[in-house]
Amino acid sequence: MFSYRHAFHAGNHADVLKHLCQMLLLEKLCNKDKAFVYIDTHAGAGLYDLTSESAQKTAEYQAGIDALTDAACHNPHIRAYLKLVEQYRKQNRYPGSPEIARRLCRAQDSLQLMEWHNNEVQQLALNFKHQKRVKVHHRDGFEGLVAITPPKPARGMVLIDPSYELETDYQVLPDTLAKAYRRWQTGIYAIWYPLLAKKRDRSQGMIEAIGRGPYSSVLDIQLSVLPQDEELGMYGSGMLIINPPWQFDQQVASLLPELTQALGQGGAGDFKVSWLAQQD
């Protein structure tokens, strides 16, 4: 079926950007006592051992979470994220998006975690067994998202973080998002996408498709850590946020200069925050 394993990439620059945004969104949801739901459509294994053969093969975390730790940043959001992952890093582990959500969600909140890959979902279920507020689904996260929306309670966020191993993900994602949004217009949707070499880029078309969608507010955040190559590789990544909470854009804008400084490789690195759609 699929060959993608997130263990090879855990803690890299893309995870850092994604999990920082995820943390800020969850913190906003925690500002009110009212319960919320966290939905992860492409959950992965949930928690990663950085001493494993897979993680050591690429050691991508060294230019990600480790470079950020070494940079001694002052931004309070970066410091909060580093504090959150510190206890895992001390044990040579890195928390995936489900584990970050588990840490930040409260007793009244619930987590819906979807994963399609047989081995990954087994590991995910093992990592989250005995967690009453967590439901692990072995299913296609695109189909699953539409099936469970609108969730109860109808307050919360969705993280859509595909591996983009299938070219069709770039079309299925905007279609799924539009369907889910029609059913649940008040949810926060956070979508990760890769910034790839010029000849391999498919993200731009997807971003434009989402920009033409029915959404009243869409924020686009991009972080590059390398110059863009013609042929090969991922030079950065981005997050699209539908319905970002109040002042989330300012929080992200405040942390990106230090983040770029810390993660940019060989003097490269850039960032951008822009609105594809913005409510008056």
For binding to ligand SAM (CB under 6 A), which residues are involved?
2, 4, 6, 15, 18, 40, 42-44, 96-97, 114-117, 120, 140-142, 161-163
> Nearest to residue 255, comparing CAs of 266, 244, 263?
263
Nearer to ligand SAM, 97 or 149 (CB): 97
Which residue number has the CB closest to ligand SAM?
Answer: 96
Q: Residues with Cβ < 8 Å from 252, sequence gap 6 or more?
A: 20, 21, 24, 219, 221, 273
User: What minimum distance in Å lies between the beta carbon of 114 and ligand SAM?
Assistant: 5
CA–CA separation, 4 and 172 (whole Å): 18
Nearer to ligand SAM, 143 or 217 (CB): 143
Q: Whole-angstrom distance between the N-terminal and C-terminal Cα of the chain?
A: 45
Strand partners, 113: 40, 136
Which one is catalytic: 40, 161, 169, 249? 161
User: What minimum distance in Å lies between the beta carbon of 144 and ligand SAM?
Assistant: 7
User: What minimum distance in Å lies between the beta carbon of 271 and ligand SAM?
Assistant: 20
Token output for 228: 């863009």
> Nearest to residue 218, comparing CAs of 175, 150, 274?
274
Nearer to ligand SAM, 96 or 236 (CB): 96
In terms of DSSP H, where are the helices of the chain? Answer: 13-29, 53-58, 65-70, 76-90, 97-104, 118-127, 141-148, 169-183, 203-211, 248-263
CA–CA separation, 95 and 208 (whole Å): 31
User: What minimum distance in Å lies between the beta carbon of 272 and ligand SAM?
Assistant: 22
Nearer to ligand SAM, 43 or 276 (CB): 43
CA–CA separation, 180 and 143 (whole Å): 10
Nearer to ligand SAM, 162 or 187 (CB): 162
Q: Is 161 a catalytic residue?
A: yes
CA–CA separation, 146 and 164 (whole Å): 19
User: What minimum distance in Å lies between the beta carbon of 117 and ligand SAM?
Assistant: 3
Token output for 196: 């790839």
Residues noted as catalytic: 161
